[in-house]
Amino acid sequence: MTRKNKKRLQKGFSIVYCCLIYLFLFLPITVIVTNSFNATTSKPYMTWKGFSTDWYGKLFDNTALLESFGNTMFIAIVSTLLATAIGTLAAVGMYKYKFKGKSVIDALLYIPVVIPEIVLGISLLTLFSNTNIPRGTLTLVLAHTTFSIPFVVFNIRARLSGYDKSIEEASMDLGAGRVKTFFNITLPVLAPGIFGGAVLAFTLSIDDVIISYFTNGQTKTFPLKVMESIKSGVSPDINALSALILIGTIIFVVITQSGVLSRNK
């Protein structure tokens, strides 16, 4: 075999291999989307009964499902805002100032990242039940904020590694105070990192199952609604909503990413 053909063969093999992996990754997505168009009306909604868009219509009559989606969005937005605010301050503060116990904070930040989610979930459940905090939207927000903070901090920290401290000194040298410097210089420079962290926090929040499962009380998020329905068979309107959420997320991320990318250039 000539060198050229050998290289072509290798390339061909790598393309085929990657396609198989993508097939594996997208197979369940295909099932979800296909099933959202399934005309079936009998449980467990697994057999194909023909094409129909009915479930997309029915979706908007399913108030419990819509409500759970609303809860998911509300919790995701509030916890993302909280985690981003706390995480940004922490990342910048830990970068700028030297103080005792910094390594302890660092170690604590890694806990939610490495520990199995179920441990975080039951520990928060224990806390809320011992302190008599009624479980519901509030506890979900607190829980989601907790696991999101480290991701925001780490994202900004990655950005800070290439950060030139002297621009802040230049700002203060030119007469801006600390607060003004923070808002006019530090934040805009770190914006892509902050934004990346926030997007990550948001996507983690809307998909969270395990921690929400232990901290929800009566408030049902969309993933919890799915969990409930799994026992009796997931109805196509849930598939329809999942498909819509996927499309929404893709659009959201494509817009924000291209925005961040063009700003970076």
Could you say which residues in the range 147-186 bind another protein, by CB under 8 A? 149-151, 153-155, 157, 178
> Which residue in the set 78, 142, 194, 240 belongs to the binding site for another protein (CB under 8 A)?
142
Of the candidate spans 52-60, 73-81, 124-132, 164-172, the one that interacts with another protein by CB under 8 A turns out to be: 124-132
Distance between CA 155 and CA 185 in Å, rounded?
18
> Which residue in the set 41, 250, 255, 259 belongs to the binding site for another protein (CB under 8 A)?
250
Among 224, 262, 66, 195, residue whose Cα is nearest residue 135: 224
Cβ partners under 8 Å of residue 126, min gap 6: none
Q: Cβ closer to another protein: 191 or 245?
A: 245
CB of 224 to another protein, least distance (A): 9
CB of 131 to another protein, least distance (A): 9
> Which residue in the set 8, 9, 12, 14 belongs to the binding site for another protein (CB under 8 A)?
14
Q: Cβ closer to another protein: 130 or 166?
A: 130
Buried b (16+ CB within 10 A) or exposed e, 91-130: bbebeeeeeeeeeeeeeebeebeeeebeebbeebbeebee
Q: Cβ closer to another protein: 16 or 174?
A: 16
Distance from the first to the final alpha carbon of the chain:
44
- Under the binding rule (CB under 8 A), the answer on residue 42 touching another protein is no
CB of 20 to another protein, least distance (A): 9
How far is C-alpha 64 from the chain's CA centre? 23
CB of 53 to another protein, least distance (A): 19
Residue 145 contacts residue 79 (beta carbons within 8 Å): yes
> Which residue in the set 9, 246, 255, 263 belongs to the binding site for another protein (CB under 8 A)?
246
Distance between CA 223 and CA 127 in Å, rounded?
23
- Report the 10 Å Cβ neighbour count for 150: 22
Interface characters, 57-96, with another protein (x: CB under 8 A):
----------------------------xxx-xx-xxx-x
Angle subtended at Cα 235 by Cα 65 and Cα 31, rounded to the nearest 5 degrees: 115
Distance between CA 55 and CA 59 in Å, rounded?
6
CB of 118 to another protein, least distance (A): 4
* Total of chain residues touching another protein, rule CB under 8 A: 86
